[in-house]
Amino acid sequence: MSRAKGYPEESELVVCTVKNVKNFGAFVSLDEYDGKEGFVHVRDVATGWVKYIRDHIREGQKIVCKVLGVDSSKGHIDLSLKSVNEHQKREKIQQWKNEKKAEKLLEIMAEKLGISLDDIYNLFGNTLLEEYETLYGAFETVAAAPAEFREEFEGDWVESFIEVALENVTPPYVQIEAFLELSSGAPDGVDRVRQALLKSMEAADGEQVAIQYMGAPKYRLVIIADEYKTAEETLRRVSQAGIDAIVAAGGEGTLKREGR
């Protein structure tokens, strides 16, 4: 989380900068918590016996530690380096880098809007942290689905946020939507439409697809995929399966895209 204040929680992973190494342990500053000081005892530096502590940790090094305990009344934060594996370290460092990038993007927004970074947090930054847990997560989500963001939030800042997200962040996934209209005048038309929708879902072939009822004869198709090409191919396959099924049953079916 950006601009974290107070103290970390026990078992939390934190990014630290090594400040001073002694034979009995190392003093570090917590990058995400206003540089608060933490301590890694030599027994928590590495597994097994540590003969020379500087073989494992050195001044100026960026490390990821697990919080063992916090005494806020004394300002003590006990940390462990050996409790963090390489996978956890890579993930945490990437998250930390992403949050630093996100805060830079907020600085760009503050300049665009002519207000301070603190004002940005008060205006919407803190709300986004509550909603998305991380600022970068908010930017990623907006880059993937800006229309939904517009529906959820309002204010003069929304369009600026979307613009900055689209220009600077590559979403981890893409989401596309379309409307499938299926109808049947037969006495059992409802069942025929239901069967057509089942054919659509079968055609998803493992891809992430949701069909939402919007009021007969309209159904929203939501496709989530790693890239647009896959999403579009899945949409074509899913919608065509439903249309073919309802037409074969004597009904009608069409696919409609917003703005088209």
CA distance 210 to 165: 25
pLDDT of residue 260: 42
Question: What averages of pLDDT result for each successive group of 10 residues across the chain (260 residues)?
Answer: 75 96 96 94 94 94 97 94 94 93 93 91 93 90 87 91 91 83 95 95 91 92 86 94 96 80
Pairing between β-strand 76-80 and β-strand 252-256 as defined by DSSP bridges: unpaired
CA distance 87 to 224: 26
pLDDT of residue 92: 94
pLDDT of residue 26: 97
* Structural domain spans, the chain: 13-84, 87-168, 174-256
- 13-84 — its CATH code? 2.40.50.140
Q: Which of 81, 89, 95, 12 is nearest to 47 (CA)?
A: 81
pTM greater than the 0.85 cutoff = no
CA distance 174 to 197: 23
Q: Which of 101, 179, 93, 113 is nearest to 139 (CA)?
A: 101
Architecture of domain 174-256: 2-Layer Sandwich (3.30)
Which CATH class for the 87-168 domain?
mainly alpha
pLDDT of residue 259: 45
Beta bridge partners of 213: 219
Pairing between β-strand 36-41 and β-strand 76-80 as defined by DSSP bridges: parallel
